[in-house]
A and B are shown apart, each in its own frame.
Chain A
Amino acid sequence: MTDTSRKGLFGSASRRSFLSGVGAAAVGLTFSGGKLGKALAAEEKKLNFYNWDTYIGETTLDTFQAASGIDVNMSLFATNDELFAKLRAGNPGYDVIVPGSEFVERMITADLLTPLEHSKIPNIKNVSKEFIDDAPYDPGRKFSLPYTWLVIGIGYRKSKVKEVPDSWKYVLDSDQYKGRIAVFSDASELYRHGFKYLGHSANAGTPDLVKQVEAMLIKQKPNIKAFHEDNGQDLLLSGEVDVVMEYNGDIAQIMAEDDDIAFVVPKEGSLKQSDTLCIPKGAPHPENAHAFINHLLDAKVGAEIFHTIKFPSPNAAATAIMDDAYKNNPAIFPPADVLAKCEYPRYAGEEMTRLLDESLTRLRAD
């Protein structure tokens, strides 16, 4: 993806650092030592970015280096749980991380994040206003800025269903698709849709409600083929199942390859999620981190990122310059009235987390 990684192999005197020197000189010429340049000068020109794989544009890191001279070193995590477990023992040196919205709130509660200085991120103006205002997990956006967002719904194979499976009933409480159903193996994602189906808020979890959903799911278990770890799109595409609980971005990717696949957000509503940009406590390069977040929220840079990763973008300025195929995709951007029924999952405290986990253990035991 970039030359960054070479640095490890050849020590610090790599081609990359040479290039970055040239880049820095170029920036010095064009921006002629603005405020940004001065603030950055205090820190070494390095940044450790902890991201999901394939979650960045092909040239994003290079354009950032050309503009700021900062060498971005990207490493990868695969789940929010792992990210949290790792940072909980202490930040080993990451500057920018990309946790999901539910984990943002958990990390704020655990005091693992550094507040963002909005004055250093002028590109906040590009973020669509609803994503700044509607962020119950981080009111006022003190700790996080949205990078992508997602909605959970049902991906299905058109030729194998009688009618559009537009209710959680088909997945959670019906034997109509016996043996052709896959659901999330994550307790929070699974149970909260159970709450929704039973007519409650996704965040209304009480011990009683958890028991109710557990009983429903134990009854439904013989009809479920697999509990998947966020690879439901593969199960659907390979014909293993016909209805699957999955994120819209994942289903949108396979819709491009198979016309027989569609996505619907059930009428009871569902969960929204947003992957966000945050700076963890103890980040060695906070100035660079702010500059980098600002770069990612730039309109052109954003368009390049979303062109690559095809997830819904909260960046209004970036979306405006994307092509129509992206903008008008109903799976990527579900209608507003549907979205109105979707909620961000809120962090419900450790007790609820453990209650859900033990319930899942009971559900998965025979």
Chain B
Amino acid sequence: MLNRDGQSRSTFWATVLPPTLWVAVFFLVPLGIVWLYSFGQNEGLTGISLTGTFANYVRAFDPLYLQIFAKSIFVAGLTTLLCLIIGFPVALAIVFADEKSRTWLLMLVMLPFWTNLLIRTYALIAVLRTEGFANFTLEWLWNNASGVMTFAGLAPLGDFQPLQLLYNNFAVVVGLVYVHLPFMVLPLYAALDRLDKSLMEASLDLGAGHLRTLFSIVVPLAMPGIVSGVIITFVPALGAYLTPDLLGGPDSQMIANVIERQFKRANDWPFGAALSFLLMYATFIAIAMRSYLTRGKAVDAHGI
């Protein structure tokens, strides 16, 4: 592209320079400092001497931390999967809606996310807790069902036992899905927006069922959106610490909780930095693998 003409050269620089410079100065420099810290050693309370040690990384490979890593990846993966399953039909609905309702649907998806994360989490707590709305509703249903059964001459159901919906790993996953859903819906919508509906019609005309059409036509076309949706859901979910803190039980500790404590209470910035960068390396490998795997498929999709 560069060789086209003079215009392209200036276009090239105008396009490349602003984002590159911004990232370099306002992101890579700050992050670079923390990266250096990960090879440092605490000196007294506030000093860090850059000794080039790998001690922090060695410590991070302790089975204790590896196990927490594994658990966090599992929880974030489950969250992402649920978001994809829940969000895909929603994205499709937005794509298939007419122009006017499309904007409104988008708004409806985004609206909850203009509420502060902490407040949303507390709102969820009010719903899920033992004396919360979810249990009230269930109790009401239970008692009515019980009444109907008595009326029908059957034995009543017995006393309602409130479900323990909070302070366990289930609550953490529910909370993470609740918080991250739009991160999945938006990229899916963006990728599917100009879906060529004639392709689907052709597929249906040729006798393929709706589900088959979905998986052979829509999913491949949505692949770039799925990949970016999965990444921008999985990564923040992996880095979530507030949700496990507030909704989790005694064993719901995720790696971000540990990292947060290193930078705050434990005052061990080098170790916190090392854990952060290990987390980043792991995600990078995952992303690289993903894009390697989907590269082939994207070509297929074009081939259709």
Contacts and interface: CB of A to CB of B under 8 A. Distances in A.
A and B are interacting partners: yes
Nearest to A360: B261
A110 B45 contact: yes
Interface stretch (B198-206, B264-272, B283-291): B264-272
B166 interface: yes
A354 B266 contact: yes
B267 A350 contact: yes
A110 B42 CA distance: 13
B71 to A, nearest CB: 7
A9 interface: no
A365 B67 contact: yes
A228 B42 CA distance: 29
A84 B129 CA distance: 33
Interface in A57-94: 79, 81-82, 84-85, 88
Contacts of A362: 64
Given A350-B45, A353-B267, A365 B68 contact: yes
Given A79-B264, A106-B45, A226-B249, A366 B71 contact: yes
Interface string A103-138: 000100111100000000000000000000000000
B281 interface: no
A110 B266 CA distance: 14
A361 B68 contact: yes
B278 interface: no
B265 A357 contact: yes
A225 B249 contact: yes
Interface stretch (B106-114, B152-160, B230-238, B250-258): B250-258
Contacts of B130: 238-240
Interface in A260-318: none
Interface residues of A, number: 37
A229 B247 CA distance: 11
Given A109-B45, A357-B261, A365 B246 contact: no
Contact of A185 (B166, B245, B258, B264): B245
A327 interface: no
A179 B64 CA distance: 26
Nearest to B132: A238
B39 interface: no
A224 B267 CA distance: 27
A361 B251 contact: no
Interface in A313-366: 350, 353-354, 357-358, 360-362, 364-366
A239 B44 CA distance: 44
A350 B271 CA distance: 13
A187 interface: yes
Contact of A88 (B46, B65, B68, B249): B46
A366 B166 CA distance: 17
A81 B44 contact: no
Contact of A238 (B65, B131, B245): B131
A85 B253 contact: no
Nearest to B126: A238
A63 B179 CA distance: 43
A79 B267 CA distance: 14
A354 B56 CA distance: 13
A106 B265 CA distance: 11
B266 A353 contact: yes
A305 to B, nearest CB: 26
B104 interface: no
Given A226-B167, A240-B130, A85 B249 contact: no
A84 B267 contact: yes
A112 B261 CA distance: 21
Interface of A: 79, 81-82, 84-85, 88, 106, 109-112, 179, 185-188, 221-222, 224-227, 229, 238-240, 350, 353-354, 357-358, 360-362, 364-366
Given A226-B250, A227-B250, A364-B252, 20 more contacts: A109-B45, A110-B45, A186-B265, A187-B265, A221-B251, A222-B250, A224-B250, A225-B167, A226-B166, A238-B130, A239-B131, A240-B129, A240-B131, A354-B267, A357-B262, A361-B64, A361-B253, A362-B64, A365-B251, A366-B251
26 contacts: A79-B264, A81-B265, A85-B263, A85-B267, A88-B267, A106-B45, A110-B44, A111-B46, A186-B265, A224-B250, A226-B166, A227-B250, A239-B131, A240-B166, A350-B44, A350-B45, A350-B268, A357-B261, A357-B268, A360-B261, A361-B253, A364-B251, A364-B257, A365-B64, A365-B71, A366-B251
